[in-house]
Amino acid sequence: MVWKGYIRMSDKLTAYRRADAPLPSTHRLWPLYGAGLENLGRDGRPIEVPLPSFGPDELLVRHDACGLCFSDIKVIKQGQNHPRIFRDIAADPIVLGHEVSMTVVGVGERLRDQYRVGDRFIIQADIRVNGVGYAYGYMIQGGLSQYNVIDQRILNGDDGNYLIPVRPTTGYVESALVEPWACVIAAYRLQYRTGLKPGGTLWVVGPAQTPVDEPAYTIGAGFDEAAHPARLALTRVPPRFAEWLKSRAARLGIEVQETDDLTAPPFAPVDDLVLLEPTADTIETTSPHLADFGVAALVGNLHLSRPVSLDIGRVHYNRWVYVAGKGPDVARAYSDVPVRSSLREGGRALFVGAGGPMGRMHVQRAVQLAKGKGPSVIVCSDVSDMRLADLCTSYAAEAEAKGVRWLCVNPTNREAYQSAMAEFESGGFDDIIVLAPIPAVIADAARLLAPRGVMNVFAGVTRGTMVELDLNRLFERDNRIIGHSASDIEDMQVMLMQVESHELDTNRSLAAVGSLDAAREGMQAVIDTAFPGKVVIFPHIKDLPLTPLAELKEKMPSVYSLLKDGREWTNAAEEEFLRLMLP
């Protein structure tokens, strides 16, 4: 019902969802002009700019909700030195925000058969066109703005259409948080090669001294007519194996070059690095030449004289993986113990740094997987008692109701921590998920891996972060260390499907809300790790300072009454919130 041109309060949300109201001539956004939070906005405030026009092959969208991410903080700290920023942001500022839900409010004339005003989407932010990155919230204006133009880079990029449709009944927070959640589920969907890369580059490096009794090295699969590398580099390979490789390479048309220089392989980077009876020095010298998704296979009886310093940042970002086998068949180093990324059913799982927003997502997923499909033991560590207490309040009872043993430990309380962890010293953990980007923490966690255990370095450790690891012990136990960063379109589609089928609830990740004006305050809260969960900004609501959900009890009791257990966001709470807060 409309009274004298004014929409009843109860109908504001309906009108907002229709998205067909007249558009304003201006809108507001948060430009970032340089490194440092002081360079976000002008005088600590968003700015007002003309509403952008859109062309016949473009869409105009309204940003409905935007999650704040620690990745945003990395851009704020690094400014234009961030690896995803390719311009002078002092002259041409960027607008952050890649965890965003949006609604179409304008459709170009050549797109009217495909899109309608009111259509809702989320976006896979890692946009590429002809191999060039135009990430949303980095190079393309992001969700800390009220409106934006979706152009052909997004609608027709290298991976197709980066927009992912959202059902009308899905919540705005619920859909905005699909993006960080997709990164979480992607960590358990990783695929690793079980053999040499067909058409790739193989570098075989032999021992410093040729053994008197040369092992009968061979490659039982992946080096034949069915599949084989395109290039082969050889360095001090024992004579018989070198002759076998060169003879077969000649028959298969593989280009071969030999070198004695461990620092400069003739083909670089290399997809497969095979190290025969390696030393720690050899592993450290050759590893930097691995390509993205590269595999280093350590073949022989490892007798390393010291821990090996590995670039764990490359394991995380470039998806390097180290495998091992006693030989003499190189192929078995890949295939005998395939690299697993899913949590072991009925196993023991340790989440290191579990109390932060991303850690909570990992833990929630593990709890919801339980009852035969997930771990039977979940141990959560964090240096914040506040975060651990909140984590326990959120998930402990649910885990225990499913028969999962639950334990929270704070490593800063050394005596209590050591006492609680003593039982795991010998048996170890089947899965260790590391959410703290601290080399000493990663090294300490690795020693707790059970036989055939997997450690996933999920934390955003930068490339060049070196960690000293006892590879003798790791490979005696057939351990694997993997890493993960980001998600792709398929990951987001899978995650959205799990949200819309009520398999996983992204709303449970929300800790605080605010209006567009509160974005700077929200970024500071992320920097300060002030909340155990996510901060979400609603760009179109009335002014609202950053507000933890618990404070809604006093500020918006009708919204608070619709929270689950007085602490978790729900779609019903969101609807009431928007009825109150939409202008």
- DSSP H helices in 402-457: 414-421, 424-427, 439-446
Contact between 560 and 553 (Cβ < 8 Å): yes
Spatial distance between the Cα atoms of 76 and 394, rounded to a whole number of angstroms: 31
Written as one string, the DSSP assignment of 502-515 is: TSS-GGGGEEEEEE
Spatial distance between the Cα atoms of 75 and 86, rounded to a whole number of angstroms: 12
Q: What is the DSSP pairing of strand 99-107 with strand 120-123? A: antiparallel
Contact between 468 and 441 (Cβ < 8 Å): no
Q: What count of Cα atoms within 13 Å lies in the side-chain half-sphere of residue 455?
A: 29
Q: What is the DSSP pairing of strand 201-205 with strand 231-235? A: parallel
Sequence-distant (6+) residues with CB within 8 A of 257 are 231, 232, 233, 234, 266, 267
Q: What is the DSSP pairing of strand 31-32 with strand 94-95? A: antiparallel
Structure tokens at 532: 């155990």
Q: What count of Cα atoms within 13 Å lies in the side-chain half-sphere of residue 311?
A: 20
Contact between 119 and 103 (Cβ < 8 Å): yes
Contact between 225 and 252 (Cβ < 8 Å): yes
Would you mind telling me the total number of residues written for the chain in this entry? Answer: 583
Structure tokens at 526: 């992320």
**How distant, in Å, are the alpha carbons of 9, 346, 361, 454, 459 from that of 377?**
49, 8, 17, 15, 22
SS3 298: strand
**Range 84-112 burial, b when 16+ CB lie within 10 A, else e:** bbeeebeeebbbbbbbbbbbbbbbbeebe
**Range 238-254 burial, b when 16+ CB lie within 10 A, else e:** beebbebbbebbeeeeb
Spatial distance between the Cα atoms of 60 and 57, rounded to a whole number of angstroms: 10
User: 149 φ, ψ to 5°?
Assistant: -100, 130
Spatial distance between the Cα atoms of 466 and 164, rounded to a whole number of angstroms: 37
Label each residue of 170-237 as H, E or C: CCHHHHHCHHHHHHHHHCCCCCCCCCCCCCCEEEEECCCCCCCCCCCCECCCCCCCCCCCCEEEEECC
Contact between 330 and 297 (Cβ < 8 Å): yes
Contact between 109 and 132 (Cβ < 8 Å): no
Helices 519-527, 70-78: axis angle to 10 degrees equals: 90
Spatial distance between the Cα atoms of 526 and 529, rounded to a whole number of angstroms: 5
Strands (E), 302-438: 308-311, 321-325, 348-352, 377-381, 405-409, 429-434
pTM as predicted: 0.93
The amino acid sitting at 192 is Y
Dmax (CA) of the chain: 97
pLDDT mean values, one per 10 residues, the chain (583 residues): 42 94 97 97 97 97 97 94 92 97 98 98 97 96 98 97 97 98 95 96 91 88 96 96 96 96 93 96 97 95 92 92 93 93 96 95 92 90 94 95 95 92 93 91 92 91 89 91 90 97 96 98 96 97 98 98 96 97 97
Contact between 121 and 170 (Cβ < 8 Å): no
Peptide bond into 229 cis (omega under 30): no
SS3 164: strand
Q: What is the DSSP pairing of strand 270-276 with strand 201-205? A: parallel
Sequence-distant (6+) residues with CB within 8 A of 286 are 203, 205, 262, 265, 273, 275, 296
Looking at residue 10, its pLDDT comes to 58
Q: What count of Cα atoms within 13 Å lies in the side-chain half-sphere of residue 451?
A: 3
Helices 357-369, 178-186: axis angle to 10 degrees equals: 60
Q: Please choose, from the candidates 431, 403, 433, 405, the residue with its C-alpha nearest in 3D space to the C-alpha of residue 420.
A: 405
SS3 423: coil
Contact between 515 and 543 (Cβ < 8 Å): yes
Spatial distance between the Cα atoms of 543 and 524, rounded to a whole number of angstroms: 18
CA dihedral 496, 499, 501, 507 (to 10 degrees): -160
User: 180 φ, ψ to 5°?
Assistant: -65, -35
